[in-house]
Every structure is written in C-alpha cells, then in structure tokens.
Amino acid sequence: MPIKPKYCAKCGQTLTARELEGRVRTVCPACQTVFYENPLPVAAAVVLNEQREVLLVKRRREPHQGQWCLPMGFAEIGETIAEAAQRELREEAGIEAEIVRLLTAESHDSRHYGDLLIVTFELRKTGGRERAGDDAEEVRYFPINAPPPLPFASNARALRACEAAHLEEWAIRDSFVTLQAQTDQAMLSDTLVALIQERAEEVARAWLADVRANPSTRCYQALDEQQLLQRGTCAISQFGRWLKGSAADEEVKEFYRILARERRSQGLPVHELLSSLTLLKKHVWEFASRHHRWEQPIDVYRLLELSRRLALFFDKAMYQAARGFGEARG
C-alpha cells in the first residue's frame, strides 16, 4: 500500500485523522491543512497493426512481473494524460504514435499503489521501431481477440472497446475483400439477398408489370403471363447461390442460355431479351432500396455492395443470354 504522510508539509506538525466532508481525512491540527488522497493517473496505449494485432509488453518489474500488458505508466507533472500515453509507449515499446481515440477510463485498486485511474487511448504508429524499453522484457503483437492473460482487467476491457470501435470498419473491409475475390464467404449484403429471395414473387410481379408495358419489351405482351411470372420468380429465388461467383457459373450459364433459346424460338429479338434483364436488375435494386434500413454507415456500404454484386451478376447473365441467342440462331 502507498505510504501516507505523517507530518504536515507546511508546518511540520504530526497529522491526525478527522471526519471532514463526509469522509475520514488526514488533517494538520495546527494549520488545518487538509491532505486529500486522490487516485494516481495512469495512461495506457492500444496500438494495432494491419493484421489486427495489439502491441503488448512483458513486464520487467513488479507488480505482475513477467506478464503481458498494454504499455502503461503514471502521468507526470506538466504533461496531459494523452501525452503520458504517448511517452509511455515510446519508453516501453520504442515507437512514436498519434492519438486516435479515448477507449476507457476506469478505477483500479492496486496493492502496490492504492487507487489508480487508468485512462486508455488507441494510438496509431507514426514512427520508431518496436523494441523493449527499461520497464519491459519483450515487445510483441498478439491477435486483439486472443491476447495472453492480462493482469489488469482494464486492459481487457480496453481491447474490447477497441474491437467495438473497429467493428464496422473491419466488417466492410472483410466484405470488400470477399467481393473482390468472388469467394463463397459471407458478405454484408447477404441479408439483403436473403430478403430478395424470400420475397421473390413480389419482386417478380413488379418486374412482370413493367416488362409487359415497357416500350423496350413490346414482344413480352404476347408471352404467357403465368410462365413469365414463374420464370422470373425462379430466377430471383436463385440469387443467393448465383451471386456467390464462380461456384455457380455453370448453373448461371445453363439457365440463361436455355432462356435465350426459348425467347429466340418465340420470335423475340435479342435486344428485348437483354432489356428484360435490365428491367429485372432495376426491380431487384429498387426492392432492396425500399426495404433497406439506413441507421448506420455500414448500412450504406451494405447497399453499395449489393449494387456491385448485381452489376457483376447481370453482366454475366446478359453475356450468357447473348451467347445462347447466337447459338439458337446458328
């Protein structure tokens, strides 16, 4: 426990304990100076690398010698708490960094130092090289969601707060990578795709009304309405598989080449077939836009991602339809 003063720093008299302002406080009986006891301010730093790993230091001294924790230490006179976090990071881990955000501020009862106020910031590395300082045995990055046991509960809570702060950013980044790679992994817009599939007939009916009235698809007025509705509903209900990319390429190819041969045999020109697919894309997009929530920035990305996926898919569908039409003519 921290050592309490015994003598008055002003007059040298022996201090006494007295109830004052609802607490027992240390008071000088001679000059009435009150010696308030306040929590010691501690600054801690969370630094992430591009792999979403957090920088930790292994403690060289007690308390908790040999255990991993965030770079942290007491704030000094003449510096702000944020400057203290930057200094401790430089002294313990060897790097320069700028403040990104405040993560947590909470109390901690230490057997060695008494009451502490630990303030944790996220910082972004701007220079230097990771190396262990005087108070650290080792410096290393660990996955932020799987760190070693941390002796300070405030460190663990700060890491969770940091993860929460990056949740949308990382989800968008992961989904973008998946979109670029055209893999079968989950994407943010999958929730919209599932809704479109669930309401496939509703979307198909809106498309049917348009395709039978639109000047660019006049020949569709002569086709059987129920068959058009069934074919449109079937196509929309398959989007979940078809939008995944290469895994469904053969299925998309077969579906749209068969469709093109049917329309060719029914006497439709190729431009009306392609126009009907453009209208289908429009109604899928309009349905998603109407039923999409706009509460957070990630919701905007979710819709933009769907737009990108639809564009890629319908480019593929139109190409296969045009090829199928050409094969039928040949």
Spatial separation of the C-alpha atoms in residues 284 and 104, rounded to whole Å: 44
In the set 76, 138, 254, 327, the catalytic residue is: 138
Q: What is the Cα–Cα distance from 42 to 143, expressed in whole angstroms?
A: 24
53 is catalytic: no
**Distance (Å, rounded) from C-alpha 120 to C-alpha 85?**
8
Measured in degrees and rounded to the nearest 5, phi and psi for residue 147 equal -80, 165
Full strand arrangement of the beta sheet holding 136-143: 68-69, 53-59, 136-143
For the residues of 202-220, what is the DSSP string, one character each? HHHHHHHHHHTT-GGGGGG
207 touches 280 (CB < 8 A): yes
User: Residue 311: CB partners within 8 Å, gap ≥ 6?
Assistant: none
Distance CA 29, CA 34 (A): 9
Q: Which residue shows structure tokens 């993560």?
A: 103
Cβ atoms of 137 and 58 closer than 8 Å: yes
Q: How far apart are CA 320 and CA 326, in angstroms?
A: 10
Q: Which residues are catalytic?
A: 138
